[in-house]
Structure 1
Amino acid sequence: MAKYRETAEAWAPLTTDQTRKANRLFDAAHELAKNLRRTDEGRAALLTLLDHAVPGVRMFTATECLSFDPGSAVPVLEAIERLADFHSLEAKYALKMFRDGTFDLDW
């Protein structure tokens, strides 16, 4: 769990001019999250980050939690969408795909 948190924290502040590094960190955090989602303990650990101080970490984690606890994840994504910051667009499209039934985290 610590490795996931550290990776998500490193990813969150990156901007569009740092795409290569952001993509590498995104892929690493997603792989870690997929492993965490496989167990009850891992899912519980992910849920603890839904109130993380960094909006990007909350957004990334809430997106990962959509598959097993949308009741907790959706309000977090909706709040981030309203922030109108760098991660708002990501939150908006995660919610759109989730609501459309096209969201897939198992890639």
Structure 2
Amino acid sequence: MTLSEDEIRERYRALALDWAAAKGEPKKANRIFKEHHGLYREIRDLELGCRVIESLLDDPEPSVRLLAATHALPFASARAEAVLRDLERGNGLYAMDAKYTLINFRTGRLNLEW
């Protein structure tokens, strides 16, 4: 990976926003989600990548926070769980996603290796 920290952050965030915008188009949303997960797989073992993901836990957009919190669970569990709990308590679009991400993480069934 030869992207800078800002380039990684911009790409990660843009894909998360594109995914959110495509919620009404399942095929498109799934394609974007897979692309986003591919980016995560590229950066997850890099200190720079983890730093970017953790920085996005404070993003104003819930879709960005949801994906960043999910991806931060392996290395910033306490902070990521707090973000997911906050999303779960809301009545927003991502409350159910956050709830089941937390359940799967706590029971050891969250698979980020695909």
Same fold (TM over 0.5): yes
The answer to whether the 8 Å contact 1:62/1:76 transfers is yes
Q: How does 1:25-104 map to 2 (within 5 A)?
A: 25-104=32-111
Corresponding residue pairs, total: 106
* One-letter amino acid matched to 1:12: A
Consecutive unaligned residues of structure 2, counting only runs of 5 or more, are: 1-7
Partner of 1:11: 19
**What is the CA–CA distance in structure 1 between the aligned matches of 2:111 and 2:75, rounded to whole Å?**
12
**What is the CA–CA distance in structure 2 between the aligned matches of 1:14 and 1:61, rounded to whole Å?**
18
More RCO (CA 8 Å, sep 6+): 1
* Equivalent position SS for 2:25: helix
**What is the CA–CA distance in structure 2 between the aligned matches of 1:18 and 1:69, rounded to whole Å?**
32
**What is the CA–CA distance in structure 2 between the aligned matches of 1:4 and 1:49, rounded to whole Å?**
9
Q: Normalising by structure 1, report the TM-score.
A: 0.93
How far off is 1:72 after superposition?
1.3
**What is the CA–CA distance in structure 1 between the aligned matches of 2:22 and 2:94, rounded to whole Å?**
10
**What is the CA–CA distance in structure 2 between the aligned matches of 1:33 and 1:105, rounded to whole Å?**
9
Q: Normalising by structure 2, report the TM-score.
A: 0.88
How far off is 1:33 after superposition?
1.1
- Identity, % of aligned positions: 36
* One-letter amino acid matched to 2:17: E
**What is the CA–CA distance in structure 1 between the aligned matches of 2:21 and 2:70, rounded to whole Å?**
17
Consecutive unaligned residues of structure 1, counting only runs of 5 or more, are: none
